[in-house]
Amino acid sequence: MTSLLGLSHNATLLVWTLISIVLLIVFIAKFKWNPFVVLLLTSIFLGLIVGMKPEDVIDSVTKGLGGTLGTIAIVIGLGTMLGKMMAESGGAERIAVTLVNKFGEKRVHWAMMIVAFIVGIPIFFEVGVILLVPILYTVARKTKMSLLQIGIPLVAGLSIVHGLVPPHPAPMIAIDAYKANLGKTILFALIVGIPAAILAGPVFGKYIGKRVVVEPDPELAKQFTTKNEKDLPGFGITIFTILLPVILMLIGSAADIIDPNGASGFTAFCKFIGHEVIALLISAVVSFFTLGFARGFSKEDISRFTSECLAPTASIILIIGGGGAFKSTLINSGVGDAIASIATSAHVNIIFFAYLVAVLIRIATGSATVAMTTASGIVAPVLAMTPGANVELVVLATGAGSIILSHVNDAGFWLVKGFFNMSVSQTLKSWTVMETILSVVSFIFILILNMIV
């Protein structure tokens, strides 16, 4: 069976891998099966069909799932807590109000992109949309500007952070798989992500806002814009709390560059607090005080907030774990080496390869997370056999590919459609095009950066 009509061993492994990926896509996109279940089934199918022993398949799946979630699950949990504290304290609203006042009404769409970029660092895209839509509706009512003109920059800022900027779980998956440097990835992500967000956000938003005219949903507008104003936390302390994990990670990376051997105790301390788990743990605890107790919340309130916010993350954590199981099966079955051998002999540019794999899976499944986890498993062995490749840019290429062309099989598509009160056609013309601009522009900047660094 595994000889597959006389094909070479590597070609046979590659064919079975393609069949497994097709099954993965069909069951998620066509039959709407849960991605976690499909990833596990596909991992087991691939392992058995290429000749792995049943006990080795089980071992590969369990270790791959557990190994992947070792760090990512903690990052998701702590990041979600930090985002919850920001939401409950009014921190997100404080950032928005301050920047809108600073920028003025004529440049409010730029302010919304910056708000989303900052707020989106510790939280999921869907949570960010829900968190910031009330601010969007309020700003639209006060400025009388087109909802899309200020809304597209908002979702562009959230989306680019989701795909490219650590400590977001999606890029962290690729960082872990490719063994990339966290600090360099953050730096390159900002260099690539900011211009992409500008072009897809304020620039495209101004263009499409004049051509696709939508009005806020009356019921939502009433709900969101008639809330009582409350005393908001200070802008400085809010920004400090939200950016603290990024600051700590950059400190750790800088210490590693300055003293790579870790000879001094101070370097070891900086690297310790700069680890993503420790950085997020410190930041979450700090938020309990700066955005919790300082805002008058009791210990019971904070306990409730941090418990409530974890339930919605269960599904995403399981999907990421399933992707880790699939990646582990690819490696342990020899498929990873086969893909690497074929790709390297064909002299495929590793950055383009990573981008293309993520693009294909994203378009087919509609999930950026599935695209990121699956692509990481396919690309990692090829990257290991590509000396001299810029690993951090391969991380960003995978992330850029995972956010392209959101359409009707993506939950984010329907979320934006509903909150922006658009038809399917209007959503395709605005949101889908914006996502594609984000992806393509990011990839172009990645290629340019690859020629420089």
- C-alpha triplet 150, 193, 99: angle, nearest 5°: 40
**Residue 225 main-chain phi, psi, to 5 deg:** -105, 5
- The answer, yes or no, to whether residue 116 has pLDDT greater than 80, is yes
Asked, for residue 14, whether it belongs to a domain, the answer is: no
Chain centroid to CA 96: 22
pLDDT, mean of residues 152-180: 89
Digit-coded pLDDT (tens) for 378-413: 898 889 888 889 999 999 999 999 999 888 767 788
Question: Residue 388 — left, alpha, or beta (φ > 0 → left; ψ -120 to 50 → alpha)?
Answer: left
Query: Which pLDDT band holds residue 123 (cuts at 50, 70, 90)?
Result: low
**Per 3-state DSSP, what percentage of the chain is helix, strand, and coil (rounded to 5)?**
80, 0, 20
Segment among 3-12, 47-56, 276-285 with least mean pLDDT? 3-12
CA dihedral 120, 443, 402, 405 (to 10 degrees): 100
52, part of any domain: no
Q: Which residue has the tokens 């601010």?
A: 135
- State the amino acid at position 254 in one-letter form: A
Are 225 and 244 a contacting pair, CB within 8 Å? no
The pLDDT-based confidence of 445 (bands split at 50, 70, 90) is: very high
For residue 4, pLDDT beyond 70? no
What's the whole-number average pLDDT of the chain? Answer: 84
- Apex 427 CA angle, 370 and 97, nearest 5: 90
Domain tally, the chain: 1
Q: Is residue 398 part of a domain?
A: yes
The reported pLDDT for the residue numbered 221 is 65
Rounded CA-CA distance 156/110 in Å is: 11
Structure tokens at 371: 């695209």
Residue 116 lies inside a defined structural domain of this protein: yes
Question: Quick check: 258 and 267 in contact, CB under 8 A?
Answer: yes
Looking at the chain, the whole-number percentage of residues with pLDDT higher than 90 is 29
Question: Is residue 361 pLDDT above 90, yes or no?
Answer: no
Range of the domain at 347: 63-317+324-452
Q: Is residue 4 one of the residues assigned to a domain?
A: no
- The least confident of 107-111, 134-138, 318-322, 366-370 is 134-138
Q: What is the pLDDT of residue 6?
A: 45
Residue among 218, 212, 216 at smallest CA distance from 432:
212
Report the predicted TM-score, pTM, of the whole model to 2 decimal places: 0.75
Other Cβ atoms closer than 10 A to 45: 17
| Residue 325 contacts residue 65 (beta carbons within 8 Å) | yes
For the ranges 13-22, 307-316, 429-438, which has the lowest average pLDDT?
A: 307-316
Residue 5 in any domain: the answer is no
Asked whether the predicted pLDDT for residue 2 surpasses 50, the reply is no
Within a domain: residue 19? no
Between residues 345 and 397, which one has the greater pLDDT? 397
With b for 16 or more beta-carbon neighbours within 10 A and e for fewer, the 381-395 pattern comes to bbbbbbeebbbbbbb
Candidates 329, 260, 352, 302; CA nearest to 16 is: 329
**How far, in Å, CA of 349 to CA of 152, rounded?**
33
User: Percent of the chain, pLDDT > 70?
Assistant: 92
**3-class DSSP state for residue 309?**
coil
Q: Report yes or no on 22 lying in a domain.
A: no
Can you give the pLDDT at residue 131?
67
For the segment 213-225, the average pLDDT, to the nearest whole number, is 69
- Judged by average pLDDT, the poorest of 26-30, 104-108, 140-144 is 140-144
Q: Are 405 and 436 in contact (CB under 8 A)?
A: yes
Distance between CA atoms of residues 366 and 319, nearest Å: 13
Average pLDDT of the segment spanning 93-103: 78
